[in-house]
Structure 1
Amino acid sequence: MHALTADDHALVRAASDLLVRAYDDRNHRVAAAVRGASGEVHLGLHLASTRVNICAEPSAIANARMAGENGLDTIVAVGMGADGLPKVINPCGVCRELVPHYGEGLRVIVDDAGEIGVIAPADLLPIPWVRAQSYDN
């Protein structure tokens, strides 16, 4: 795991600021921020209903792509801690599969037992799911 840079800390702050503004225990429990290759920061918010949940990370990635980003540099998600303050959280299983799809070089900010640092997408899901091959007979 690598230490956070000043830009990484700014990305965490951007996601945290969004979570503080939009937090709702039923509808918006997580916020995410992704820095595009351009250096621009794009935000995402967890969306929930009684049947459907959309993670914050895909929301941020979608916003970056809609803004014309051709590459992504770093991503982070934050959730509200027990103390009422945002804290870095790790991607869920679905996001662990999704995030690497958007770049092997993408940096992911995570919490490893209280130590906040940066890892590679391959470290999120070291043995990724692969689609079964179809065979033409």
Structure 2
Amino acid sequence: MIGGITPLTVTPADEELAQASIDIIEILFKPNFHAVGAALRTKSGKLYTAVHLEAGIGRIAVCAEAIVLGKAISEGETEFDAIVAALHQDDGKVNVCSPCGMCRELLTDYQKDIDVILLENGKLLKCKMMDLLPLKYSGVGT
């Protein structure tokens, strides 16, 4: 266990997914517009990538994880296996990063058992998204 999280085995397919998130933001990075890339693998094995959309009014910015999820859903996908995001930092380095709380909520709304790939002490770590979201919001009046 790592901080209450039960790590899962990181596979070569997971490493490929992480690299896809890094690759998309390295290609499409644009200061003040796109700094986070995400890659999503469906249960059928199809891979989708996207970048986040920054906005002058921060509240209307859209995370890369939400965009990649919408992209896959728009293509007819309904079952999701794993997701990973990567952040292009100010110093030019790109590293896998953890999804924000809103993305954790959104992703578990669509696939409670989705895996997430993170970086822990310089190494990829895979766990269930629900491990990162104890006591998930269940909606008003439920």
Give the structure-1-normalised TM-score.
0.89
Instruction: Summarize deviations over 1:17-49 as a string: whole Å, max 9, x none.
Output: 110111112000100000012211011210011
Q: State the Cα distance separating 1:3 from its structure 2 match.
A: 3.2
Which residue of structure 1 aligns with residue 37 of structure 2? 31
Distance 2:89 2:121 in 1: 14
Which residue of structure 1 aligns with residue 19 of structure 2? 13
Question: Does residue 126 of structure 2 align to residue 118 of structure 1?
Answer: yes
Q: State the Cα distance separating 1:116 from its structure 2 match.
A: 2.1
- Conservation of the 8 A alpha-carbon contact between 1:79 and 1:88: yes
Distance 2:138 2:44 in 1: 31
Percent identity between the aligned chains? Answer: 31
Secondary structure of the 2:119 match is strand
Q: 1:112 to 1:126 in 2, by over 3 A?
A: farther
Instruction: Summarize deviations over 1:44-95 as a string: whole Å, max 9, x none.
Output: 2100111121000011111111111120011000002465232110011111
Aligned counterpart for 2:111 among listed residues 93, 99, 103: 103
Distance 1:63 1:132 in 2: 28
Larger radius of gyration: 1
Q: State the Cα distance separating 1:113 from its structure 2 match.
A: 4.5
Structure 1 unmatched runs, 5+ = none
Which residue of structure 1 aligns with residue 66 of structure 2? 58
Distance 1:3 1:81 in 2: 27
Distance 1:108 1:75 in 2: 5
Structure 2 unmatched runs, 5+ = 1-6
Which residue of structure 2 aligns with residue 129 of structure 1? 137
Query: Cα RMSD (Å) of the superposition?
Result: 1.6
Aligned residues: 134
Distance 2:79 2:45 in 1: 10
Moved over 3 A (4+): 112-115
Give the structure-2-normalised TM-score.
0.86
